[in-house]
C-alpha cells in the first residue's frame, strides 16, 4: 500500500512539474547545490521511498521519505495549513507549489558528477561568463579524453565547459545540424568553434528560451521548422537524459555504427517523454510479474 501511494503521489507530481520552468525554490535545510530558478524540471524518478527530481542542467534533488513523509501539491491561493510548520522543501512552478515534509534524508547533486566521476576532475570554463576564453573551450572539446564519446554526451560534461543544460544541448545540436551520436573526435576545429560560439551566445544573451523559440526540445512528433521532418525523442547517455533531435536534417557526422543503438521512446503528443518512459516501464513490470 505504501509503495502504491508513493507511486500515486509521484504520478501527480509528474503532471504538475515535468516540463515546467521552476520559479521558486526554498529549502529549510542547507543543500550542497540549489536548483536554479528558470531551469526546467525534466524528470521524476521513484524507487521504494526515495523520490528524485531532475532539472535540465542535471541537478538531482533526492528525498528519502519517512513513513509519514509526503510531497503535496498546492494550487495558487490554496491554504497550506499545517504544512507551513513542517515543510522542508518548496518548489514553485506556474500557479502551483509542491511541498515536501517528513523526509528523513535530503540531498542534491549533479548526476553527471556522481555517476561518472566520483573523483571529480576540474570543472571547465563557465560559458555564462562574458569574459570566458572561447579558444580554451574549443580546445577542451577537441581534446576530449574519450574520442568515441558522442557530442550529445560531451556537451553535458561540466569538465569541458559549464553552463549547457539539456534544453540548450538539444537546441545547439539542431542549430549546428549535428547528429547527436556524432563522435566527438569526428568534429573539425571549425565544428567545435561553431558549437562553442553558438552556445556562449545563447547562454549569455538569451538564457531562458521561451517555448516558441525552441526548435526541437519538447517538440517530439512535430515538424522541424527547417526541413519539415519529424522531431524525435530518446534517452541517451549514462545519465539517461531525454534528447530531442530532427532525424531528417541533423545528419552531419552521422556515425552509422551507432544508429542501431537508438531506442525509440517517441511519446504520444501532449505527454512528456519522461512520463511516457515511466508508463512504459510500469507496463513492462506488469508483464513480467
Ligand atoms: Zn529538420
- CA gyration radius for the chain? 20
Between the CA of 171 and the centroid of ligand 1 the distance, in Å, is 12
Domain 124-282, second-level architecture = Orthogonal Bundle (1.10)
pLDDT tens column, 124-173: 899 999 999 999 999 999 999 899 999 999 998 888 998 888 889 999 99
Ligand 1 centroid – CA 164 distance (Å): 22
For residue 273, the CA-to-ligand 1 centroid distance in Å is 19
Instruction: Compute, in angstroms, the gap from residue 230 CA to the centroid of ligand 1.
Output: 7
Q: How far apart are CA 198 and CA 102, in angstroms?
A: 44
Which spans in the chain are helix H? 2-17, 83-86, 111-116, 134-142, 151-154, 166-175, 189-205, 273-288
CA of 263 to the centre of ligand 1 (A): 19
Q: Using the mean position of ligand 1's atoms as its centre, give its distance from the Cα of residue 163 in Å.
A: 25
**pLDDT at residue 173 in the model:** 97
Q: Which residues contact 194 (CB under 8 A, 6 or more apart)?
A: 176
Cα-to-centroid distance, 215 and ligand 1 (Å): 9
- How far away, in angstroms, is 222 Cα from ligand 1 center? 10
Q: How far is the CA of 180 from the centre of ligand 1 (A)?
A: 13
Q: Which three cell numbers stand for residue 228?
A: 519539415
Residues of the chain with pLDDT under 50: 1-3, 114-120, 263-269, 281-282, 284-286, 288-289
The CA 244 to ligand 1 mean position distance, Å, reads 11
How far apart are the CA of 54 and the centre of ligand 1, in A?
Answer: 28
How far apart are alpha carbons 142 and 226 in whole angstroms? 28
Residue 273, pLDDT score: 54
Q: 101 CA distance to ligand 1 centroid (A)? A: 45
pLDDT for position 2: 47
The rounded Å distance from CA 35 to ligand 1 centre is 32
Task: For domain 2-112, give its CATH number from 3.20.190.10, 3.30.465.10, 3.30.70.520, 1.20.1560.10.
Answer: 3.20.190.10
Residues in the chain: 289
CA of 150 to the centre of ligand 1 (A): 20
3-state secondary structure of 274: helix
Euclidean distance between the first and the last CA atom of the chain, given in angstroms as a whole number = 17
Helix axes 166-175, 189-205, angle to 10 degrees: 130
Centroid of ligand 1 to alpha carbon of 231 (angstroms): 7
Q: Where are the chain's structural domains?
A: 2-112, 124-282
139 burial level (CB within 10 Å; 0-12, 13-18, 19+): middle
Measured CA to CA, the distance from residue 80 to residue 70 in angstroms comes to 13
pLDDT for residue 289: 41
Cα-flanking dihedrals φ and ψ of residue 84, to 5°? -60, -35
Please count the other Cβ atoms lying within 10 Å of the Cβ belonging to residue 242. Answer: 25
How many angstroms is it from 232 CA to the middle of ligand 1? 10
How far apart are the C-alpha atoms of 233 and 143, rounded to whole Å? Answer: 28
The C-alpha atoms of residue 9 and residue 46 are separated, in whole angstroms, by 10
Q: How far is the CA of 250 from the centre of ligand 1 (A)?
A: 6
pLDDT at residue 274, as a whole number: 56
CA distance 73 to 1: 20
Which three cell numbers mark 203?
A: 547562454
At residue 244, the pLDDT reads 92
CA 123 to centroid of chain Cα atoms: 19
Amino acid at each position: 500500500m505504501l509503495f502504491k501511494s508513493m507511486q500515486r503521489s509521484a504520478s501527480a507530481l509528474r503532471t504538475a512539474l515535468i516540463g515546467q520552468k521552476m520559479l521558486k525554490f526554498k529549502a529549510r535545510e542547507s543543500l550542497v547545490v540549489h536548483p536554479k530558478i528558470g531551469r526546467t524540471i525534466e524528470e521524476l524518478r521513484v524507487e521504494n521511498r526515495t523520490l528524485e527530481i531532475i532539472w535540465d542542467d542535471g541537478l538531482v534533488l533526492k528525498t528519502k521519505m519517512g513513513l509519514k513523509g509526503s510531497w503535496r501539491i498546492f494550487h495558487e491561493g490554496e491554504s497550506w495549513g499545517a504544512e507551513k510548520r513542517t515543510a522542508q522543501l518548496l518548489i514553485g512552478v506556474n500557479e502551483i507549489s509542491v511541498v515536501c515534509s517528513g523526509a528523513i534524508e535530503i540531498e542534491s547533486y549533479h548526476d553527471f558528477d556522481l555517476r561518472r566521476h566520483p573523483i571529480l576532475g576540474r570543472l571547465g570554463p563557465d560559458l555564462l561568463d562574458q569574459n570566458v576564453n572561447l579558444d580554451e573551450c574549443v580546445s577542451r572539446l577537441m581534446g576530449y579524453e574519450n574520442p568515441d564519446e558522442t557530442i550529445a554526451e560531451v556537451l553535458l560534461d561540466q569538465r569541458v565547459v559549464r553552463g549547457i543544460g539539456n534544453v540548450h544541448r538539444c537546441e545547439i545540436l539542431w542549430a549546428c545540424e549535428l547528429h547527436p551520436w556524432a563522435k566527438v573526435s569526428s568534429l573539425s576545429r571549425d565544428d567545435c568553434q561553431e558549437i562553442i560560439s553558438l552556445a556562449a551566445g545563447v547562454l549569455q544573451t538569451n538564457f531562458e528560451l521561451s517555448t516558441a523559440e525552441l526548435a526541437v526540445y519538447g517538440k517530439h512528433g512535430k515538424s522541424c521548422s527547417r526541413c519539415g521532418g519529424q522531431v524525435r525523442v530518446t534517452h541517451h547517455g549514462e545519465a539517461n537524459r531525454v534528447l530531442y533531435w530532427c532525424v531528417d536534417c541533423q545528419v552531419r557526422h552521422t556515425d552509422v555504427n551507432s544508429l542501431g543503438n537508438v531506442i525509440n521512446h517517441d511519446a504520444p503528443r501532449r505527454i512528456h517523454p519522461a512520463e511516457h518512459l515511466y508508463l512504459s516501464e510500469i507496463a513492462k513490470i506488469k508483464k513480467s510479474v
